[in-house]
Amino acid sequence: MAVSPVVPIRKKPKSQKSEFTIVPATAMAARYNSEPRCPERKVSEMPSSGTVTLLRIAGHAKESIFRSTSLRSEVLVIYKCFIIFAKIIIFIFYCNYSMDVYTPARTVDFTDTGLWRLIIYISQAGMTALLRHVEDASQPLVCLFSTSWNQDESLLLSKIESAVYDNPRLLEDYATEIIIETRQLTWIPTRVVEENEVENVVFETLFPTATDTPMTDTAGDMTALFSLTNGLQSFISRTLPGARVRSHLAVLVNHCSKTSGDGPHIYADIRPDEVDLILFNRKTMQMAVTHQWHSVADIGYRAAQLASAYGISPRDVTLTISGNRNAMEPLKEIMINVGMQVEESDLPDPEQTDISTVAVIAAG
């Protein structure tokens, strides 16, 4: 994604128009003065999509969200601040997410691997590798590479191996987290795993073609048993020893649990051809599952069916949607018609960033 130069901006007080005053970076030494010491120029329009703007505002601020009428998906977020003359960072960018900006890997110094955390996202359809700076949260999230391939189970392991060996930076001494996106997944209570060690029997019963011991990840008091393709676990153990392997659904469940509330709440993260649905009730995860979809109506049907399976009326459910923006509006209309309360997440659209929602969450 192309990123515009970062420039400090001072907002004009009590302005009645959508105007900002741009102050060149050389003037920031005088940021505590009432007037800048360098020429200013006015901007009467919102920055273009993809523009990243750094605002430094002196004084108190409240959390606010403004939606642009001219740019259909851009959001301006002002973070809470309670310190006089605090620097408030605001990001405006098309993917509607205020965490960070993806920058080309070539612009970043990786010589000290201890300063970076490596996140690798693997699915049937492709693979992505990201770096997150460990000490400086203001550093942008870096995409080392992102590749896709045709889905072919017989060739999947070899494609993953080739992607790793073609990108030798993945083999360096990073603290590594690997996220596996797969529909070969089931949930069992964690206490059952700890007390009875039945995960192999359960997984073999549900997925008889899986020959590997299932990988595990926890979310609340539940454990996900999962596998993507035979041989992957041993490849990871040999090639990326010490890496933490996680289920994409467990990552999503842990993230959504922070905002689930007391009432019934369904989260839908939409990807091309697939949707992750997670049902919470009384802040407890009831079910997390991945379904294929061919039309937006399929997603609506699956969400309503999930609520019904747990004896919950759709009218009592809040539905939060993330992922593919093209599916959001028609899905919102369908679910509002059946009585659900619908809201959009501020997580990024994978179609715009080429990076999955869960990969961004895992990067933190």
* pLDDT tens for the chain, residues 1 to 364: 444 444 333 333 443 433 333 334 333 333 333 333 333 333 333 333 333 333 222 233 333 323 322 333 333 333 333 333 333 333 323 333 334 445 555 566 777 899 999 999 999 999 999 999 998 877 888 889 999 998 888 899 999 999 999 999 999 999 999 999 999 999 999 998 887 778 889 999 999 999 899 999 999 999 999 999 999 999 999 999 999 999 999 999 999 999 888 899 999 999 888 999 999 999 999 999 999 999 999 999 999 999 999 999 999 999 999 988 889 999 999 999 999 999 998 777 776 666 788 888 888 7
pLDDT in tens, 184-224: 999 999 998 887 778 889 999 999 999 899 999 999 999 99
Following DSSP, what letter does each residue of 113-147 receive, concatenated? GGGEEEEEEEETTEEEEEEEESS-TTSPPEEEEEE
Whole-angstrom distance, CA of residue 44 vs CA of residue 316: 44
Whole-angstrom distance, CA of residue 272 vs CA of residue 292: 9
Question: Domains in the chain, ordered, with CATH?
Answer: 8-78 (no CATH), 103-252 (3.30.420.250), 258-356 (3.30.420.260)
pTM of this prediction?
0.70
**285 near 259, Cβ under 8 Å?**
no
Pick from 3, 7, 99: nearest CA to 50? 3
Residues 6+ apart with CB under 8 A from 7: 22, 23, 24, 25, 53, 54
pLDDT in tens, 51-66: 333 322 223 333 332 3
Residue 350, SS3 per DSSP: helix
Identity of the amino acid at 277: L
